[in-house]
Homo-oligomer: A and B are copies of this chain.
């Protein structure tokens, strides 16, 4: 009974994913609870505490065998204190989450944003296993990033390291971004961007099959391109070229061993990876590109809880 465990908690706008994971990386239990966003999410911390206590009872684990909790939320987090500056989907603003969870559970708590946890998860048990330098990119509704350098996650001066979705890719004429600016990587290459660009482009191609779709998704655009649809091909060429440029510029900054691509858009697999690598190589310093492999993320929705447990494993002393 000397085995020690870490708890990962990945707090999203709809569900909170939880897991108990051994320090060896074995997932002992994995479950979800509803995210109660009422009253600006004030019950969430207590809900997590109850869920953890119930799980430990069920597993017959004493709290002394738990090294701590690693929790992630989408937003700006002060990783030194676990203070949440803002997590819009959850309703938190200026909320001392880390300290509250620590006091309620009596366990050490580390907090980071969800994209950084995903990078840590893939770095521990997923597609980026064991590499010292990793960029994890989540291509979904938005574009998120997590960076591991020298074996450690980068948080930066105020938790905005690896906010690669806000690299400026178009100096002018780009679409508006949630951040208040225009032309961000997120507004140029997310699933949302692919759909927006397809809707804009389809007018120039009356024969495009995309024009028949009522509710278009990024997946539809990939499928149409695969069948040779010119509007879909034009959109994806532009999107993938921009993504290749951004990843090449990140590569001469971080010099990663691997770039791991996750999120809904990454489900396009080789249809995304093949042209992306071509664009990337055309823009990247050859010596840096040689060192870097592209991989599809392996952990899917589990990346966050595994990353949370990894955070505990890394910082527990």
Contact between chains at A291 and B157 (CB < 8 Å): yes
Contact yes or no, B253 A250, CB < 8 A: yes
Within 8 Å of chain B (Cβ to Cβ): is A155? yes
Q: Is the CB of A168 within 8 A of B283?
A: yes
Cβ contacts under 8 Å, A166 to chain B: 252, 285, 288
The minimal Cβ–Cβ distance linking A283 to chain B, given in whole angstroms, is 4
Q: Which interface residue of A157, A161, A250, A286 has the most chain B CB atoms within 10 A?
A: A157
- Shortest Cβ distance from A167 into chain B, in angstroms? 5
A255 at the interface (CB under 8 A from B): yes
Q: Are A254 and B179 in contact, with the CB atoms below 8 A?
A: no
A150 sits at the interface (CB 8 A): yes
Mask for A270-289, Cβ within 8 A of B = 1, else 0? Answer: 00000000000001111110
Q: Looking across the interface, which residue of chain B has its beta carbon closest to that of A156?
A: B255
Chain B residue contacts of A288, Cβ below 8 A: 156, 158, 160, 163, 166
Number of copies: 2
The answer to whether A164 has its CB under 8 Å from any CB of chain B is yes
Residue of B nearest to A283 (CB): B168
0/1 interface trace, chain A 236-259, chain B, CB 8 Å (1 if under): 000001000100111111111100
Question: With contacts A168-B245, A245-B168, A286-B179 known, is A252 near B154, CB below 8 A?
Answer: no
- Given the complex, which residues of B lie within 8 Å of A161, measured CB to CB? 133, 149, 252-255
Residues of chain B within 8 A (CB-CB) of A154 are 149-150, 254-255
A150 x B152 contact (CB < 8 A): yes
Contact with B along A140-173 (1 / 0, CB 8 A): 0000000101101011111111111011100100
With A147-B253, A157-B132: A76-B287 Cβ-Cβ less than 8 Å: yes
> Would you call A32 an interface residue if the criterion is a C-beta within 8 Å of the partner chain's C-beta atoms?
no
Expressed in whole angstroms, the minimum distance between the Cβ of A66 and any Cβ of chain B is 26
Give 27 CB contacts A-B under 8 Å.
A131-B157, A132-B157, A133-B156, A133-B161, A149-B150, A149-B154, A149-B161, A150-B154, A152-B152, A155-B255, A156-B288, A156-B291, A157-B257, A157-B291, A158-B287, A158-B291, A159-B255, A160-B252, A160-B288, A160-B291, A162-B255, A164-B252, A166-B288, A168-B283, A171-B283, A180-B286, A253-B253
